[in-house]
A and B are shown apart, each in its own frame.
Chain A
């Protein structure tokens, strides 16, 4: 029951865009349109940023966008800001009794 694969780190300058990938299988990412993304600052609980591949909860800036192609989902942060520096985790519905959801390995976003 492997975690989804994410790059360990990505970085960008303020105002630039960064994209984080999240690769799974046809049993999770590729099988359902239920991919979500979380932002986690050090010592804090995760915060939901994207759900159902590309929907934003109320209050999340539209600089954050999500997409999916096949077994890979992506999170793009446009107009990078200092407060975006955090860890980001993808999460996918996997649908089995012992594995309803699965998380990604996490990506550290650094604002240069």
Chain B
């Protein structure tokens, strides 16, 4: 069965960086992409971007460009999302989800809480 397992919760200071991992299993990793979606406390879902596990192509939401980098390691079927120059409004649960460009995110990870606080 398809599973996405994310790394554990993080607490970071403003200005720091965070890197969240997402290990996939149960399907051919390079046949899909991985999208990243975040949800601030009590708020809705926000699209962050996605990466093709086939060729590493990425596209990112405009508001995050310059601060976010998505990568994959096909040898371990793991995707990574790094967010830099953290601010308090980056506090959120970050989800990874499997995606195919013309199909919406279907299988989701359990989420990783990132707290940004001084």
Chain A min CB distance to B26 (Å): 15
Which of the four size classes fits the interface of chain A?
20 to 34
A100 contacts B45, C-beta separation under 8 Å: no
Q: Which residues of B contact A36 (CB under 8 A)?
A: 104
Interface mask (B84-118 → A, CB under 8 Å = 1, otherwise 0): 00000000000101000111111011110000000
Q: Are B65 and A48 in contact (CB under 8 A)?
A: no
Contact B65 A104 (CB under 8 A): no
Q: Determine if A57 and B62 form an interchain contact, defined as CB atoms under 8 angstroms apart.
A: no
Stretch at the interface among A14-22, A61-69, A70-78, A91-99: A91-99
Instruction: List the A side residues contacting B110 at CB < 8 Å.
Output: 45
Binds A, one of B9-17, B46-54, B73-81: B46-54
Report the Cα distance A8→B103, complex, angstroms. 26
The one of A48, A97, A98 that contacts B104, using a Cβ cutoff of 8 Å = A48
Q: If the complex has contacts A46-B45, A97-B59, A105-B44, are A51 and B103 also in contact, measured as CB distance less than 8 A? A: yes
Q: Are B111 and A45 closer than 8 Å at their CB atoms?
A: yes
Q: How far is the CA of A86 from the CA of B8 in the complex (A)?
A: 25
Residues from chain B with a CB closer than 8 A to the CB of A98 are 59-62, 65
The CA of A72 and the CA of B59, in the complex, are separated in Å by 26
Please give, as numbers and ranges, the residues of chain B lying within 8 Å of A103 by CB-CB distance: 37, 44-47
Chain B positions near chain A (C-beta within 8 angstroms) = 35, 37, 44-47, 49-50, 59-63, 65, 95, 97, 101-106, 108-111
29 pairs from A and B in contact (CB 8 Å cutoff) = A1-B61, A1-B62, A1-B63, A36-B104, A45-B95, A45-B110, A45-B111, A46-B105, A47-B108, A51-B103, A51-B104, A51-B106, A89-B44, A89-B45, A93-B102, A93-B104, A98-B60, A98-B61, A98-B65, A99-B47, A100-B49, A100-B101, A101-B47, A101-B104, A103-B37, A103-B44, A103-B45, A103-B46, A106-B45
Further pairs besides A100-B50, A103-B37: 11, Cβ < 8 Å = A3-B44, A34-B104, A46-B37, A46-B45, A46-B105, A46-B108, A89-B44, A91-B105, A100-B47, A101-B47, A106-B44
